[in-house]
Amino acid sequence: MLAYDFMRTAFATSALVAVLSGLTGWFIVLRGQSFAGHALSHIGFAGAAAALWLSAPPLAGLIVGTLAGAGWIGVLGERGEQRDVAIGIVLSVSLGLGLLFLHLASGSASSVTALLFGNVLGVSHATLLVLAVIAVLALGGLAAIARPLLFASLMPDNALARGVRVGRLGTIFLLIVGLVTAACAQVTGVLLVFTLMIGPAATVLALGLPPLAGAAMAAGIAVFCAWGGLTLAWVSNAPVSFWISALSALIYGLALMVRRIRPAA
């Protein structure tokens, strides 16, 4: 399997994206922003569809779309009770625009399928380099805000009292999530971004692990799902994204079983 260059590139891409998704997803689930993470992938769809219409690289459209959506959600939803409404408005508008741009685009059906469901086996070396730059930027930004973000996520009122700018911090985090979403879509597509960003993190939080160990384990589970999906796809000839989502759901289900059994033990 690894004798082929495209498979080695796929494994490198999926590992890079999985680590990024696992670490970011841990904060997403902890902060209760799973809906925001899911919405950003659909917002990125509008940007990628616009890029197809303009004959530009879909990844560039994904990045622009997710960053614009993250900034818009951050501005409209600075107060907690406004957040879901802001996300819903942005999501509905972006889906409408995505459908319009796909209607105007003259791209092939395979391009649209890759956009919606991902095509990690078709990632080029140039795209992998772009994803590596995105990973450095996103991980650097996440490391810079990790401590205040954790504080604001667990005790928002105390963080405000200590002078932490919770609203601005949340917007910065959403911009990071936007970058990660654009990267993750290269592996799972915009419709299944939820798989690597939410599944592993939800598994770890269900097990009740402490922050440092939990974030590391979320990244490890994401890598396992990504590499396992690639391997199973090679053996079965089924889509990679299907196997990644199946493994993520299976591991989360096992975590829930462990959590139920643990008190009895």
Question: What's the number of CA atoms in the CB half-sphere (13 Å) around residue 41?
Answer: 27
Confidence band of 8 (pLDDT split at 50, 70, 90): very high
pLDDT in tens, 165-194: 877 888 889 889 888 888 887 777 776 777
191: CB partners within 8 A, 6+ apart:
41, 116, 117
User: What value does the mean pLDDT take over residues 79-105?
Assistant: 75
Contact 251, 200 (CB under 8 A): yes
Distance CA 27, CA 211 (A): 9
Percentage of residues in the chain with pLDDT exceeding 90?
20
Q: Is 33 helix (H, G, I), strand (E, B) or coil?
A: coil
pLDDT at 265 over 50: no
The pLDDT of residue 45 is above 70: yes
pLDDT for the residue 263: 60
4 phi, psi to nearest 5 deg: -95, 135
Domain 5-264 has CATH 3.20.20.70: no
Are 53 and 111 in contact by the 8 Å Cβ rule? The answer is no
Model pLDDT for residues 202-226, shown as the tens digit of each residue = 999 888 888 888 899 999 999 999 9
Q: Are 151 and 159 in contact (CB under 8 A)?
A: yes
pLDDT at 140: 92
Please list, in sequence order, all residues whose beta carbon lies within 8 angstroms of the beta carbon of residue 185, skipping any fewer than 6 positions away. 41, 44, 48, 62, 115, 118, 193
**Nearest-angstrom CA–CA distance, 173 and 20:** 13
